[in-house]
Amino acid sequence: MDTILLKAIKFAIEAHHDSHHKYDRAPYSVHLAIAAHYADVYSSLLPPDERDHVLAAVWLHDTIEDCRVTYRDLEKIFGTSISDMVFAVTNNRGRTREERADESYYKGIRETPYATYIKLCDRLANVRYSLEYNQANMLATYRNELPHFLDQVISSNPTIDYSSMVAALEEIFAQESAI
């Protein structure tokens, strides 16, 4: 495992711990580990020379949004490429989900290399957790958002074929129906 990835894992877990940010009632590292699991599962979609940097960004994906960490903080430690990926998946400020994920947010995801991959790992983690821990309201929100979400995050000319990740999301929702 690359040193940058190990450094990112440690940094992300500590930043969320220090900010007392929780995932439901669990330590936030639970969400980060689930997102990283999906990143590992689909890592074959990534070019080998980019893999560890993208996986590092998956671990760091919520640090700007949830912790007292800035883009510049990340850039000093992890460089511009990783910081750009994390920044691209960081929600805007806003009072509603729609304000936090407006057109400029999705445009940033589509235009930043690997940000769609990271956002799909994040969404897979959230949907899986919502299903397994009986969070029906959030699961319904994610299900209702799915067509718009996919339309927004996947560019019309993607460099990666995300169909396997999309199928995994749809499969989770199918499991919900079977319960």
Which domains occur in the chain, in start order?
3-178 (1.10.3210.10)
Residues 116, 121, 124, 127: what is their CA dihedral angle, to the nearest 10 degrees?
A: -90
Q: Report the range of poorest mean pLDDT among 102-106, 142-146, 153-157.
A: 153-157
pLDDT at 58 over 90: yes
Which candidate, 120, 105, 109, 128, places its Cα nearest to that of 30? 128
87-135 confidence digits (pLDDT tens) = 999 998 889 988 899 999 999 999 999 999 999 999 999 999 999 888 8
Q: Are 131 and 139 in contact (CB under 8 A)?
A: yes
pLDDT at 165 over 80: yes
Both tokens of 84, joined, read 């750009």
Q: Backbone dihedral region of 161: left (phi > 0), alpha (psi from -120 to 50 degrees) or beta?
A: beta
Q: What is the pLDDT of residue 23?
A: 78
| Mean pLDDT across 132-149 | 92
